[in-house]
Amino acid sequence: MRILRVISLAVILGMLLIGLAYPVLTPYHAGDFSHEVLMHPSGAHLLGTDEMGRDIFSMLLAGFRVTLGIALAAALIATFLGTVLAVLCAYYRGWFDRVVVRFTALFIIVPEIVVLLFFASFAKPAVYNTVLAIAFFSWSKVTRIIRARAVPTIAREKIQYTLLLKGNLGDILAKMWRELYPAVATMFVFQCSKAAVYEATLSFFGIGDPLVRSWGRMIRAALDYEGIFIGGVYLWYLLPPIICISLFVVALSFLAFERDWMSNDTDGFRA
C-alpha cells in the first residue's frame, strides 16, 4: 500500500508541476496554427500537428494547467462548502439540519452530470462559470459524509465541555478538526477526480470557454476530425489526452482509497 501511495503522489505532483511549468516547457503557443497540418511526430513536434496546424504536444501541456486547475478549484470550493454546512448541521441541529439534509437528498437524487450540462449550457462560456457549476453540484455528497462524522464527534465529552464553556463555532471546529480531517481530505481527493471528469465532459460537449485548451476539448477536436482513425493519427492526437485524464483520475482514486483505508484502520485502533 505504501508503494501505491508513493506512486500516486508522484504522478499527481508531477502533473501539477507540469501545469505550473507550462510556459517554460511548451515549445509553441497552444493556439499557434502556423505549422504544417497533420505532421507526424518528430523532433520539432513531439506529437505532430492537428488538422489546423497546431502543435498537439503544446495543447496537451496547456491541458495540464487548465484541466487540473479547474479540477482543484472546483474540488476546493465544493469540499469547503460541504464541510462548513456539515459542521453547521452538527452544531445547530434542529430545523437547520433538516433543511440541509433535504437539499442534499434532492441533489443526490437528480443525476449531477445531467443538471450540470443543462446549467452550464446556459451560463456564460467562461472558466469561472465551469468551476462554479461543478462545485455547486458536488457539495451535497461532501456534506452528507462529513455530517455523518461530525454529529457523533460533537457529542464527545471534550466537545461538550467546550460548548459548556461558551465556546464559539470556531473553537468547536478546532476541537473537531482532528476527527474530521481524514474524511475531509478523502472527499477533497474524490472531488478532484470527479471535477476533472466533469470538466472533460463539459468540454467534450462544447460547453465552456472555447478558447481554453483543456484535455476534454482536445478529445472533442480529435473525434471531430474525420480521418482520426486513418494512418494511426489517433495514437498521437486522441490517446494522449485520454491517457492523461485516466492517469490523473486513477492516481487520485488510489490515493483516496489509501487515505480512507488508513483512516478506518486508525479508527479501529482507537476503538
Joined together, the cell numbers standing for residue 98 give: 433538516
Residue holding cell 486522441? 238
C-alpha 154/C-alpha 179 separation (Å) is 10
Domain holding 72: CATH number?
1.10.3720.10
Q: What is the pLDDT along the chain (271 residues), one digit of tens a residue?
A: 678 888 889 999 999 999 999 999 999 998 888 899 999 999 999 999 999 999 999 999 999 999 999 999 999 999 999 999 999 998 888 899 999 999 998 888 877 777 787 777 777 888 888 898 899 888 999 999 999 999 888 877 666 666 666 666 677 777 788 888 888 988 999 999 999 999 888 888 888 888 888 999 999 999 999 999 988 899 999 999 999 999 999 999 888 776 555 555 445 434 4
What is the sign of the dihedral through the CA atoms of 98, 99, 102 and 108?
negative
Among 147, 152, 146, 148, smallest CA distance to 186 is for 146
Residue holding cell 462554479? 132
Residue holding cell 483512516? 263
Query: How many helices (H) and strands (E) in the chain?
Result: 12, 0
How many domains does the chain contain in total? 1
Q: Which domain holds residue 120?
A: 2-270
**pTM as predicted:** 0.86
H helix or E strand, kind and range, residue 201 = helix 169-204
117's CB contacts (< 8 A; 6+ apart) are 201, 202, 205, 207
The DSSP 8-state label assigned to residue 40 in this structure reads P
C-alpha 76/C-alpha 212 separation (Å) is 21
